[in-house]
Amino acid sequence: MADTDGAEWAALRRATAKYHRIEVALDDGFFAPDGECVEVEGLGGMGVHYVHPDNLNDALVDPEKPDALLYEPQKNGHMRLVGAEFVIWRDVWGDPPGPTFLGRDFDQSFGEHSHGLPDHYELHLWIWRDNPAGIMTPFNPAVRCP
């Protein structure tokens, strides 16, 4: 079980708190490559991924520099910050075992499961929206796309 009471979790929450205002995320260099809101029937959603290119390509798991922020579009047009994500490219990290964060192994997104990206390890962190499926699972049944 992940230590969500520890210093790394607290650092991630502190580092992302300012991004409740999406304008701040955009000013800091985050952007949505395709703007797609991800949701899978029966699993829930991920929302829209806003990535930071410098963080995405640094091959680090740094709670103060998430690779992506997850936003849920609201009916009024606003974007609600719901989580963060770490991504490590497989060609940089190497073959499994992959990276871990707070005792949780990253999910492997290889081949047809890589969402059209190069093979990678990923970990979704639902730090700003409760997730009944688990705080570090890929999809959140509470997140919906319009």
Q: 90, 102 in Cβ contact below 8 A?
A: no
Q: What is the pLDDT of residue 76?
A: 95
pLDDT number for residue 6 = 86
13: left (phi over 0), alpha (psi -120 to 50) or beta: alpha
User: What pTM value is reported for the model?
Assistant: 0.93
Q: pLDDT per residue over 42-72, tens digit each?
A: 999 999 999 999 999 888 899 999 999 999 9
- Helix boundaries (H) for the chain: 7-17, 22-27, 53-56, 90-93
- So where are the chain's domains? 7-125
pLDDT (mean) for 106-130: 92
Distance separating alpha carbons of residues 23 and 21, to the nearest angstrom: 5
